[in-house]
Amino acid sequence: MYIIANPTNREIVISDLKLSLSPRQSRDLHEAKLPIPPEKSKDLEFCKKKGLIKVLRQDSDNKISSPTQVLPQKEVIIKEKEVIKNVVNTDDIKNIIQQEIQKVVEKINTQPVKNDQNDILQQILSKMNEISKPISNQNDVYIEGQIDEETLQKIHVKTLNKITQNVSGNVECNDDKINDTVSKNISELEGLL
């Protein structure tokens, strides 16, 4: 098990693994089909160093190479700079495009224009304001360690199996009979629950 998570609020692409993680998404790399074993990924290492990827769990007993999961690959050597390029920040791209459009519009706006052109420009500007509002109102809410329930349970089961493998005991407890006050509720609850 090698579970990583994207703790940021943007999409992260790990190029040499050909893997992208949405904001706050987690993934078990040993379950994913990857071109190279995740332990050999330089891009992943870089992302981890930069805090762009967080390792939630990495089992030491997993071998580095797992032939059944490794696909044929082209040799890819990526330098750090290239990795940075590939770490796509969709919010940044939106901002850049927005700024560029704004510049063009402002440039046009400062030039003398005819009335009908001015109306069109006003319409474009008001539309742009409408578009930019939802982007600027977005809240960056991230709960540390958020992970989907199924993955969380898989982790727990694995942990439990590991910590209880040499555990034994003699705990037992006598059965007590208690007043049954719920049997009569059961048929009534069938219709409700």
The residue ranges that bind other proteins (CB under 8 A) are: 149, 152-153, 156-157, 159-161, 163-164, 166-183, 185-190, 192-193
Residue 143 beta carbon to other proteins: minimum distance, rounded to whole angstroms: 9
Residue 151 beta carbon to other proteins: minimum distance, rounded to whole angstroms: 10
Angle between helices 115-136 and 90-110 (to 10 degrees): 160
Question: Three-state SS for 42?
Answer: helix
Residue 26 beta carbon to other proteins: minimum distance, rounded to whole angstroms: 14
As a residue count, the chain comes to 193
> Toward other proteins, which CB reaches closer, 60 or 164?
164
> Toward other proteins, which CB reaches closer, 71 or 167?
167
Residue 156 beta carbon to other proteins: minimum distance, rounded to whole angstroms: 4
Distance (Å, whole) CA 12 – CA 26: 11
Distance (Å, whole) CA 39 – CA 46: 12
> Toward other proteins, which CB reaches closer, 75 or 149?
149
Residue 165 beta carbon to other proteins: minimum distance, rounded to whole angstroms: 9
Amino acid at 131: I
In SS3 terms, 93-114 reads as: HHHHHHHHHHHHHHHHHHCCCC
DSSP state of 146: -
> Toward other proteins, which CB reaches closer, 110 or 183?
183
154's tokens = 């898989």
> Toward other proteins, which CB reaches closer, 71 or 193?
193
Q: Which of 23, 62, 22, 24 is nearest to 40 (CA)?
A: 62
